[in-house]
Amino acid sequence: AAKQLNYRPNPIATRLATGKSRSIGHVIPISTNQEMVNPIFSDFLAGAGEAYSKAGYHLNLSVANDENVVSSYKQMAELGVVDGILVQLPRFKDFRIPILQQLGIPFLVHGRVSTAKEEYSWMDVDNYRAFQKATQYLIDLGHTDIALINGLETMDFAYRRRAGFENALARNGLFPQAGYLKSNEMTMSYGYQSTHEIMKLKNPPTAFLVSSMIIAIGVRRALLELDLKLGTDISVVIFDDQLSYLANEGETPTFTALTSSVRKAGRRCAEMLISMVQGKKNSPYQELWESELIIGETTGPPKGYRGLVSPKKINPYPTLGFYRSDFPKKFVFGTASSSYQIEGHDYGNAGKTHWDTFAATPGNVSNMENGAIACDHFHRYKDDFKLVSTLGLDAWRFSTSWARIFPENMSIPNQEGLDFYDRLVDEMLSCGLKPFLTLYHWELPAYLSDQGGWTNRDIASWFGQFATTVGKLLGDRLYSVAPINEPWCVAWLGHFTGDHAPGLRDIRATARAMHHVLLAHGTAIQSLRAINVDNLGLVVNLEYSRPADNSEAAKSKADLYDAIYNRWFLGGVQKREYPKEALYYLEKHLPKNWEEDLATIGEPVDWIGINYYTRKLIAKGKEKFPGWLETDGNLPKTGMGWEIYPEGLGHLLRWVASDYANGLPIYVTENGMADHSNEFSKVINDDIRKKYLKDHIRVVKDVISEGVDVRGYFIWSLLDNYEWTLGYSKRFGLVHVDYNTMVRTPKSSCEALRNSLTSHNNEFKS
């Protein structure tokens, strides 16, 4: 009846009766002079206003400087002047998201925040894929010199657009040329000025990719002044927000454009937020829209191009065969690294390590290469972490350099080293990454190595002191700590085979190192617990060892290999015992009263980490000890010559869970492969790595479905890096590193991982 009489309740009376304001708040931060005159705002608000009006809500619009945004939100929430808040133009690091989550008021973000890890509601265009798609289209036309005129890259959408652009170039073996990348406010004058600057370059581009219609008008004007015909002399692709007063159809010529209506986005964001306010939706809204590439009159092959224009038929969204939703909600995906392999040990007043000494000895390391510069992560960590977070990863596993913190002796720490790791962890956290710390990853201060290193029992107390120093500095910000990475490598490769520093080949030194490395582990656990650092773990490298044939001799040697490689370190910590097969050979070389140390070695941990790369087929060898022979199987191999056997990871996860974990959670703390080639085009298009990761991640997913408590998976590694005795000849990274320029170029596996972790549909799951 009320509807028939055209009666509408008084809005003030309604608010009083319901206790609701019937208003939605928009707070626009004024960080520049341009944002309020940006027509994207007015079109977005027009669309949102349509939805608000239809649902009987009002728009509460306010403007605030960055420093006043927090107080504006708090005032809105505490006074109840709005029922919900809509956030626009999120930044790569956006402080507004955690504040709104703390306030508990319904909110929705138009866009995404790459560094935010808590669940929140958002609606966004897939800017990464859009610019990847547009760049690939230009490349398929024959363009190799492409410029990008982008928005401010502190804004998340602009950062994603640049990442998509660079990824498409990299997939085709191309690099953005110097001077081709521009980032600033999206204005016509910026587009005009940037175009003139770029076209004055010695090698001007043949195509432009432009981040908005507003910029594009300035670009077109500049190109016309240069007497260049769009679509013939030069190509231009734009992102068209379909603004009400800047219709692409009205331009002459019509731009080739990625299209997505900002007005429709405003309407949809408002509808979702109203639904949340009304309690119709409890779980977060997350909608990712695809922009369509419309071919207009401003693109064509480069002038004089004689190649065949034949667009590639590729899956635009390759994945690693999984999506984040396939795993438990709190499952952690990360990448692993180590200090000496990526940081650049020459920087920050770090002291000499036994790896520096080892590498300087001819015959030990390929080309006598060392970690002096490595990947220059010391200076580039901010960009590296930004890349990690845009991939959708949750965590960064890293190590501290003992010689960076105590460069000359154990009495005086290096303040530069402490400050570096302080900044490093803060940056991880600001990028939304969980810091998984390893205290020691194979590089011992040279002065401690000179005193016997891991063969000297005193190393346990030295290591405990090191653990305390690091724990006091970083412990309150760390997600987890593991004392030592791969103790087998530290002891066996460094003291028995001589393949690693310090390069010994001595059975007595080996046995003592195998014991002392675990004693140091237990001492570090005690030291960290004493200063209230928790979530402490054991990280071991395991290989699935099987007899190469059915002979009793092969079975016996495979069992010994398993005892020394796998069970010695797991058993020492988790069972406070060493396997009898290994003790038969090693006990006489152990320190006196070694059994008394097992209580310290067996200090309880909170989780177990497994590093897995390959299996081993073991036959009987000719030597007396250890008397085994590692044989080649018939499976495909990585660039390291290691067989690819994903099923081995499943066997080991089940075995550790049943025999050693005692109910503790398990992490796959390293898994990855080296490329077969150093040729750039082959390294970038790393299909074999995609299959390797896909198959191993599938095994992890299957094991979890069987009830094994696996909490995380870390890929080795984000970056190509220093590979110890092999120098820089082997590349394990998701990202190619040019060691001359330090330019990082994501490989195709990196793109597939990003799609798996950030995609929200299964259309192209493979």
The first and second tokens of residue 349, run together, are: 């007043």
Q: Which long-range contacts (CB under 8 A, 24 or more apart) does 697-705 make?
A: 697/320, 697/321, 697/322, 698/321, 698/322, 698/646, 699/646, 699/647, 699/649, 699/650, 699/653, 700/649, 700/653, 700/668, 701/322, 701/326, 701/327, 702/650, 703/650, 703/653, 703/654, 704/327, 704/328, 704/331
Identify whether 225 is a catalytic site residue: no
Rg of the chain over all Cα atoms, to the nearest angstrom: 29
- Count Cα atoms within 13 angstroms, Cβ side, for 110: 25
Q: Which amino acid is at 59?
A: L
| Concatenated DSSP letters of 148-172 | EEE--TTBHHHHHHHHHHHHHHHHT
Q: Which residues contact 548 (CB under 8 A, 6 or more apart)?
A: 554, 558, 617, 618, 619, 629, 631
CA distances from 682 to 677, 686, 692 (A): 7, 7, 16
Distance of CA 514 to the CA centre of its chain: 33
Q: In what order do the strands lie in the sheet with 181-183?
A: 181-183, 146-150, 207-210, 235-240, 256-259, 292-294
Q: List the beta strands (DSSP E) in 567-646.
A: 607-620, 628-631
Task: Please pick, among 486, 543, 643, 751, the residue that the annotation labels catalytic.
Answer: 486
Q: How far apart are CA 556 and CA 385, in angstroms?
A: 46
Q: How far apart are CA 112 and CA 484, in angstroms?
A: 37
CB atoms within 10 A of CB 261: 20
Identify whether 486 is a catalytic site residue: yes
Task: Please pick, among 271, 369, 443, 670, the residue that the annotation labels catalytic.
Answer: 670
Cβ atoms 329, 704 nearer than 8 A: no
The first and second tokens of residue 424, run together, are: 């490093």
Q: Which region holds residue 197: left if phi is over 0, alpha if psi is between -120 and 50, else beta?
A: alpha
SS3 readout for 280-305: CCCCCCEEEECCEEECCCCCCCCCCC
Phi, psi of 61 (to 5 degrees): -105, 130
Q: How far apart are CA 614 and CA 638, in angstroms?
A: 9
Active site residues: 486, 670
